[in-house]
Chain A
Amino acid sequence: MIALARIDERLVHGQVLVGWVPHLGARRVVVADDEAARSPLARAAMSLALPPGVEASVDPLNAVDWEALGRSSDPVLVVLRDVAEAERALSAGLTPGRVAVLNVGNVHYALGRRQVTPSVFLSGAEVEGLRRLAAAGFRVEIRAVPLDVPIDLAEIERRWNAAG
């Protein structure tokens, strides 16, 4: 099964491997990202920090077999780069039936993005995107590390509007 789908601009880093992987008991991390899959350096780097017993793969988003991941007996953690990629993944087969929670971890500051939490900045289009993903059936939350208090979509919208 897919234990969690996570949006994280930094892809695989400490919060993912030291925080989420042990928390979920994940045995496998799937990075679905075209850009990272194209870079040999990125592929080599992703495997650097893997704890013993955990495997990782870096694949172009459309090359991922979501159905097989959904049927996997070990918990899988899926990492996506941003909200737009999550919407692409939904149409490619990463459905709410295969993973209940869509977690937003790190989205960096950029022009046009407003700060929602210390580590998440969103544009208006991205809030729209999260709304569509929630309407599709995902439980959308912002949570950097497992021990943080999750922030749901309503609160995300409230903070985003307040930050305007």
Chain B
Amino acid sequence: MNVPPVTLRRVFWRCLFLQAAWNRRGMQNLGFAYAIDPALRRLYADPGKRREALRRHLATFNCHPYTAAAIVGGAIHHEERVAAGQEPPGAPLAFKQVLQGPLAAVGDGFFWSGLRPFFGALAAVGTLALGWPALVAALLVYNAFHLWLRWTLFRAGYRSGDEVVVRLAALSLPAWASRLRDGGAVLCGVAAGAGALSAAGRISPWAGVLAIGAAVAGIVALGLRARLLPTAYAVMAVGSAVGAATQVFRGGR
């Protein structure tokens, strides 16, 4: 027996709540069970069997919230076979346990350290240059792409089960992530340059020099593992002090 498309869509919607009850012991366990429950209800008419299935999906689970969609899809793929008596009841759990770490790594590497910060930097630079329309455009593009990919992963997991790994490998996301990281660093450079030019125009050329100096100091300090917030306080204080000194100097002249 197959899970009907309308139920699959319902499960996908619930995948968006995967981390609603993220907890220290089971992590995304409750979220996972919550997401897959509509499919289990379809597959197991007998309440005892449904409860049994839900219980196994309450085992500790943690993955990236986007790429986990592939595992939810794949778990339904395996549950269909369990319900049909073709696989042992442990198969969906084994599938989840093997894939959670690697798919978390894919998600953390591509989305959290590549695509999302890239779009964050893009939206920041866009806002500085063009105002809110650029911000809205960047968010629309990011979300159209990310939701499409989430859905695609979910469907690929459901249709191909273990083969989803091959499909994912074909996307070569780690290579894209490294390009996005380079692109993001370039965008941050543009932000530094634009910020300095704007300070130079608004205040004085020396304020532009100060902004560049703060960027250089930031690169060095953070490279030496200085903590972010204390560094920010120090930079704001020193920057303001330099501003005050310039005023005193001008006033005295």
Chain A residues near B (Cβ < 8 Å)? 10-18, 36, 39, 41-42, 44-52, 108-109, 115, 118, 147
* Minimum CB–CB distance for A93 against chain B, Å: 25
Please determine whether B24 and A115 come into contact, CB atoms closer than 8 angstroms: yes
Q: A48-B168, A115-B24 are in contact. List 7 more A-B contacts (CB 8 A).
A: A13-B102, A14-B104, A16-B105, A36-B98, A39-B98, A48-B103, A109-B26
Please determine whether A14 and B107 come into contact, CB atoms closer than 8 angstroms: yes
| Cβ of B127 under 8 Å from chain A | no
Interface of A: prevailing SS: loop
Q: 5 closest A-B pairs (Cβ-Cβ)?
A: A14-B108, A49-B105, A45-B102, A13-B101, A10-B101
Chain B residue contacts of A115, Cβ below 8 A: 24
Which residue in chain B gives the minimum CB-CB distance to A50?
B174
Query: Once the chains are docked, how many angstroms separate the CA of A16 from the CA of B106?
Result: 11
Please determine whether B24 and A13 come into contact, CB atoms closer than 8 angstroms: no
Chain B residues near A (Cβ < 8 Å)? 24-26, 60, 62, 64, 94-95, 98-109, 112-113, 162, 165-166, 168-169, 173-175, 177-178, 225
* Minimum CB–CB distance for B81 against chain A, Å: 15
Please determine whether A13 and B104 come into contact, CB atoms closer than 8 angstroms: yes
Chain B residue contacts of A12, Cβ below 8 A: 101-102, 105
Contact A42:B113 (CB < 8 A) given known A14-B107, A49-B105: no
Query: Once the chains are docked, how many angstroms separate the CA of A147 from the CA of B25?
Result: 23
Please determine whether A44 and B165 come into contact, CB atoms closer than 8 angstroms: yes
Chain B residue contacts of A17, Cβ below 8 A: 105, 108-109
Looking at A12, A39, A44, A49, which has the most chain B CB atoms within 10 Å of its CB?
A49
* Minimum CB–CB distance for B225 against chain A, Å: 7
Please determine whether B104 and A10 come into contact, CB atoms closer than 8 angstroms: yes
Query: Once the chains are docked, how many angstroms separate the CA of A48 from the CA of B64?
Result: 14
Please determine whether B24 and A48 come into contact, CB atoms closer than 8 angstroms: no
Contact A45:B177 (CB < 8 A) given known A14-B104, A17-B109, A18-B109: no
Please determine whether B99 and A45 come into contact, CB atoms closer than 8 angstroms: yes
Please determine whether B98 and A41 come into contact, CB atoms closer than 8 angstroms: yes
Please determine whether A109 and B162 come into contact, CB atoms closer than 8 angstroms: no
Query: Once the chains are docked, how many angstroms separate the CA of A34 from the CA of B64?
Result: 25
Please determine whether A109 and B105 come into contact, CB atoms closer than 8 angstroms: no
Query: Once the chains are docked, how many angstroms separate the CA of A13 from the CA of B27?
Result: 15
Query: Once the chains are docked, how many angstroms separate the CA of A18 from the CA of B112?
Result: 10
* Minimum CB–CB distance for B119 against chain A, Å: 17
* Minimum CB–CB distance for A31 against chain B, Å: 10
Please determine whether B162 and A14 come into contact, CB atoms closer than 8 angstroms: no
Please determine whether B25 and A11 come into contact, CB atoms closer than 8 angstroms: no
Query: Once the chains are docked, how many angstroms separate the CA of A12 from the CA of B162?
Result: 18
Contact A14:B109 (CB < 8 A) given known A49-B102, A51-B174, A52-B175: yes
Looking at B26, B98, B162, B178, which has the most chain A CB atoms within 10 Å of its CB?
B98
* Minimum CB–CB distance for A56 against chain B, Å: 10
Please determine whether B165 and A14 come into contact, CB atoms closer than 8 angstroms: no
**A13, A45, A108: the one within 8 Å of B108 (CB):** A13
Query: Once the chains are docked, how many angstroms separate the CA of A21 from the CA of B103?
Result: 17
* Minimum CB–CB distance for B48 against chain A, Å: 24
* Minimum CB–CB distance for A104 against chain B, Å: 16
